[in-house]
Structure 1
Amino acid sequence: MTPEFAAQTPPRGGRRTLAREFVLTYLVLAVLVGGLLSLVSMWTVNRLERHLQQIDMGMALERVRGEFLSGKDVGRPDRFFHGEPGGDTFPRWLRQVEPGFTRLEHNDRDWHVMADDRDGVRYMLLRDYTAFEERRAHSHWVTVCSVGGGLLVAFLLGGALTRRFLRPLTRLAEQVVTRPELPPQTRLAQAYPENEIGRLAAAFDITYNQLEAALQREKLFTADVSHELRTPLTVISSSCELLLDDPALPAANRAKLQRMHAASREIHQQLAAYLMLSRGNAAADGFAQSDIATVVNEEVLHWSPRATQIGLRMESAIAPQNAAAQAPYYPAALLRIVLSNLIRNALQHAASGTCIALRASATTFEVADDGPGIADTVKPRVFSPFVRGGAANSDNLGLGLSLVQRICEHQGWRVTLDTAPGQGTRFLIDLSKR
């Protein structure tokens, strides 16, 4: 795990947090459930009130009608009417009332009306329920305000409880971000109870510590390999230097020793490059520097015999430089690794009889071929480790282009792929800093 991990972590102040999602979900559910319960309650109460009022008005009409038929005084005459249905004995606004219970508004008053027909005569009783309706409306508003207040209290309590429940999860997230700064094999789960968050912390401990151990093994392996290979390479290099100092050495042997000496130096530089990549943020200041043109010429000279052997043709074109301007220098070993892997990739996948072209300027170089190109199914994964094209042989492990991308990312270079089936492949490396 590297310090870059913390830089890739989403900011804490994001708009959509888990606590906010919980609170909003709780609020929506509370509003829906509270609103539904309020509507059902109000509808039920209204139906019950209407039913009770209908029973009460029916009983009152039956009593008043009995008193009327027996000749007794029925009280206020403007509240009890009888006569032919729709006749003049009824006020105009009551003539269209059907038998049964009815609620009416007249002269800004609320009236409950009960009508019943007996032997062709309609009996009608009125009651003024204006005050009752006002109290009922007031009670409805009280109910609505109570529900709203309850929802507000529930929202505040839900927010407080949600933050309390999520506080350990937030603390765990902060510890996960700063985990690379803690000692190896640190266990975060010890600070949490054995609930879901504790199990999450334990799962992270297991995964992180396994990754940490694997990374440590990889670093030790890289360091051990680099150390163990440098010793014989130093012996080879020093032996070559001693033999090259012999003036009696034949010219043919001198040329072979020079090639061996150069190869040992190149392997030594490659080991240093691989060790640098394994350390993540290590600088490349210790490498010998070179311009692009020199490295391109060396690689063309090195790979041309191999291209000719398999029936391919290599071409190179280097853009002329301004005599007054100094060409920029880059780590020579990294340039060679990138360029040689791109050329090797072209040699392995280009069909016989095609051309491999190298073009370079002061800050860019490219390797292009007019071979079969890269299939659309492989193109998105071409820089992934262990991905091989259809024409790759058994010696190709699918690591060359992955190594190219790793070096470019380390140095801040840009690598661009331009390919299509049947139209060749072109890799462009731009060494100008991003």
Structure 2
Amino acid sequence: MREGRRHSLGRRLILIYGLVSLLTGALVLGLSNFSLNRLEMSLQEIDMGIAIERVREEVANGGEGRPGRFFVGAPGSQRFPADLRPLAPGFYKLMRGQRLWHVRVLDEDNQRFLLMRDYTDYEHTQTTLVMVGLISLGGLVVLAVLLGLVTTRRLVRPIERLAARMTMRASLPPCSRLATDFPANEIGTVARAFDETYNHLELALQRERLFTADVGHELRTPMMAALSACEVLRDEEPLSAPADAQLQRIEASIQDMRQRLDTYLMLARGEGDCLGFPHASLAQAVDEQWQGSCERAQRLGLAPRLEHLPGATTPPTYPLPLLRTVLGNLLRNALQYAGTGSELLIRVGDTWAEVQDSGPGVPAHQHEAIFLPFTRGTQPSVDNLGLGLSLVKRICLSQGWAISVLSPPGGPTCFRLDCAPALQ
């Protein structure tokens, strides 16, 4: 919070006001002072040149000239003060002792003329004017900061207040409105637009959650009835071995449907709590999915192969329904796109599993897109809605797992699931 206030829009605006006024004032003051100094030196050079001519006429008419300030003689002669002899023709500002002098040197007909004027008091006045300019600049900066404060209070504070309310909107009751706390100006318009958009999304999300909950509740009833019917059927009369095997398969399918339904409800709630799910290791889940997919792979003309890599004596366990959904979708995806004659390889370790096929591969620009909903490959089947890999991605995000794809041009395509660390 302190970091946010340090870089708030209001403070930035005040800082900008102060910096702009400071830079502008300093630039104007500096350019003005520089221009005035150059103009002063040019005018002084011209004026002192004219003054030298007047003093020369005065001396020629028998006047005393300017004793101690006007000198005539050959360049470098002893008539000139020792510190002024090296000066070339031109105009100079020199400090002599505690006094500031303007000096004009003029050469004409092998004669050098040097005139001095005491400008100490004038320079003190100029220094005073510069100080007044600096004080005015400081006042301008203070005024700009005050203007920034007023602007912040009138314009930026409502924006910051609206941003804070937007940030806290999720903690407010449903269908709350922010626009009632702001005036009917541009900020109020933004608040009303936010209210309309947020409340619309909130209602849509609520309808989706209610629909998911209703579907989950209503589907459990016929599934429980089907399980009860299986139990009654087994208890009423003895079944043959083939019939009992089919009944077990029906019961297993219903249980699998219940667990899948629980998985979808968990994702719809946006939660990662799997405490009620049975847990199993990755190797156990892979073996289970392998048994269900191996026969289909062989019917499709694929060469399936399973590799268990050695690992820990007691491998970590993960929610079994989630592993079933992830691995089942990866295997179905490989069976669909591998193509006849391709190799299907599954490798599994303690915390990771890979599903690799030697099919045509996935273009590099689609490696991220294939995990988006309703994204299908170039050879989609009728029952492929493009949701399997999207569901895999959402489960991995909810559990902190990682799913990645490696597919160089021409294949093979390898999907890798990393489950570490385990969420128990």
TM-score (norm 1): 0.80
Greater shift, 341-350 or 354-363, is seen at 354-363
Q: Which amino acid aligns with 1:39?
A: G
Aligned twin of 1:349: 337
* Map 1:24-423 → 2, pairs under 5 A: 24-50=15-41, 53=44, 57=48, 73=63, 76-80=66-70, 91=80, 93=84, 98=89, 102-105=91-94, 107-108=96-97, 109-113=99-103, 125-144=115-134, 146-147=136-137, 149-150=138-139, 153-154=142-143, 156-157=145-146, 160-161=149-150, 163-164=152-153, 165-281=155-271, 283-318=273-308, 328-421=316-409, 422-423=411-412
Question: CA offsets per residue over residues 392-412 of structure 1, 9 Å max, x none?
Answer: 334322221221122122223
Q: Which amino acid aligns with 1:288?
A: P
- Cα distance change on mapping 1:64 and 1:307 into 2, 3 Å: same
Other structure's SS at 2:68 match: helix
- Is 1:432 matched with 2:382? no
- Cα distance change on mapping 1:416 and 1:350 into 2, 3 Å: same
Report deviation, 1:367.
Answer: 2.3
Other structure's SS at 1:77 match: coil
Q: Which amino acid aligns with 1:430?
A: C
Q: Which amino acid aligns with 1:314?
A: P
RMSD over aligned Cα, in angstroms?
3.6
Question: CA offsets per residue over residues 335-366 of structure 1, 9 Å max, x none?
Answer: 21111111111112212212223333454433
Q: Which amino acid aligns with 2:394?
A: R
For 2:353 and 2:365, the matched residues in 1 are separated by 26
Unaligned runs of 5+ in 2: none
Q: Which amino acid aligns with 1:284?
A: C
Question: CA offsets per residue over residues 151-207 of structure 1, 9 Å max, x none?
Answer: 652564366446534332332222222211111121212212234433332332222
Report deviation, 1:374.
Answer: 2.2
CA contact 1:293–1:361 (8 Å) conserved in 2:
yes
Report deviation, 1:279.
Answer: 0.5
For 1:32 and 1:17, the matched residues in 2 are separated by 22
- Cα distance change on mapping 1:251 and 1:153 into 2, 3 Å: same
CA contact 1:291–1:327 (8 Å) conserved in 2:
yes
Unaligned runs of 5+ in 1: 1-10
For 2:378 and 2:2, the matched residues in 1 are separated by 46
For 1:424 and 1:87, the matched residues in 2 are separated by 95
Other structure's SS at 1:78 match: coil
CA contact 1:86–1:96 (8 Å) conserved in 2:
no
For 1:134 and 1:340, the matched residues in 2 are separated by 92
- Cα distance change on mapping 1:90 and 1:338 into 2, 3 Å: same
- Cα distance change on mapping 1:66 and 1:391 into 2, 3 Å: same
CA contact 1:387–1:398 (8 Å) conserved in 2:
yes
For 1:208 and 1:393, the matched residues in 2 are separated by 38
For 1:293 and 1:224, the matched residues in 2 are separated by 35
Question: CA offsets per residue over residues 70-122 of structure 1, 9 Å max, x none?
Answer: 65x55643344568x85969636479765xx8334264443335678999998
For 1:315 and 1:106, the matched residues in 2 are separated by 98
Report deviation, 1:320.
Answer: 6.7
- Cα distance change on mapping 1:137 and 1:301 into 2, 3 Å: same
CA contact 2:354–2:414 (8 Å) conserved in 1:
no
- Cα distance change on mapping 1:296 and 1:245 into 2, 3 Å: farther
CA contact 2:355–2:415 (8 Å) conserved in 1:
yes
